[in-house]
C-alpha cells in the first residue's frame, strides 16, 4: 500500500456514510411559519416549551422553546414551521430549586439533592385544558398568549 493511502483511512467512513441524515422525511407535510409570544406575570416568559397539538393522531409535533423575548419560533421535526391546521397550544416550564450542596471527597461542592417545580399552571400545560389555540395557514400572524401568574408546583 502506498504510504499516502494511510492518510485516507480516517476519511473513508465519511465518504460512504455521510455526516448524518438531515434529509426531510417524505411524509412531512408542507410547513408554514408560526411564531408565538408567551407572556407570564406581564413579562415575556423565557425558556418555556411550546407545543402544538392537533386533534387526533399526530406523527410530527410542532415545538419550540421561547427565547429571552418570550418568542417561540415553531419547528416540526427540526424544520421551520408547522403544517396547516388547527392546534391547541401548551406551554410548560420547569425549574430546579431547593438545591442542597455537599462537599465531595475531593473538597469540591457538589449537588446532593434538589426539587423540580412547574412554573406554568396545569391549565396551560395540558392539551385537554389549555384555552390557547392557533390555526396555522400560509399567513399565520404572530400570536400572543398569556399563561397568567407564575406558580411553583412540585413535580
Q: What are the tens digits of pLDDT across the range 34-70?
A: 999 999 999 999 999 999 999 888 899 999 999 999 9
How far apart (Å, rounded) are the C-alpha atoms in residues 53 and 145? Answer: 15
pTM of the predicted model as reported, rounded to 2 decimal places: 0.80
Distance CA 127, CA 73 (A): 19
Residue 155 Cα distances to 50, 106, 109, 116, 119, angstroms: 19, 32, 25, 6, 10
Q: Look over the chain and give the mean of its residue pLDDT values, rounded to a whole number.
A: 89
Q: Which CATH number fits domain 27-154: 1.10.3720.10, 2.40.320.10, 2.60.40.10, 1.10.1740.10?
A: 2.60.40.10
Mean pLDDT within 109-127: 94
154 is written with which cell numbers?
A: 412540585
Contact 152/93 with Cβ under 8 angstroms?
A: no
pLDDT digits (tens, 9 = 90+) for 102-111: 998 999 999 9
Taking the C-alpha atoms of residue 54 and residue 142, their distance in angstroms, rounded to an integer, is 18
Domain parsing of the chain, residue ranges = 27-154
Instruction: Report how far apart, in Å, the C-alpha atoms of 30 and of each of 33, 85, 93 are.
Output: 10, 11, 29
d(CA 129, CA 121): 11
Q: Is the pLDDT of residue 20 over 70?
A: no
Specify the pLDDT at position 2. Answer: 53
Amino acid at each position: 500500500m502506498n504510504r499516502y493511502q494511510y492518510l485516507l483511512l480516517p476519511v473513508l467512513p465519511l465518504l460512504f456514510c455521510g455526516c448524518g441524515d438531515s434529509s426531510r422525511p417524505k411524509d412531512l407535510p408542507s410547513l408554514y411559519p408560526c411564531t408565538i409570544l408567551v407572556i407570564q406575570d406581564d413579562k415575556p416568559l423565557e425558556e418555556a416549551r411550546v407545543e402544538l397539538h392537533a386533534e387526533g393522531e399526530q406523527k410530527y409535533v410542532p415545538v419550540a422553546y421561547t427565547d429571552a423575548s418570550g418568542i417561540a419560533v415553531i419547528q416540526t421535526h427540526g424544520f421551520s414551521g408547522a403544517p396547516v391546521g388547527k392546534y391547541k397550544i401548551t406551554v410548560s416550564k420547569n425549574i430546579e430549586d431547593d438545591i442542597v450542596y455537599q462537599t465531595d471527597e475531593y473538597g469540591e461542592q457538589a449537588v446532593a439533592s434538589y426539587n423540580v417545580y412547574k412554573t406554568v399552571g396545569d391549565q396551560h400545560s395540558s392539551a385537554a385544558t389549555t384555552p390557547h389555540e392557533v390555526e396555522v395557514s400560509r399567513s399565520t400572524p404572530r400570536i400572543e398568549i398569556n399563561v397568567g401568574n407564575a406558580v411553583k408546583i412540585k413535580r
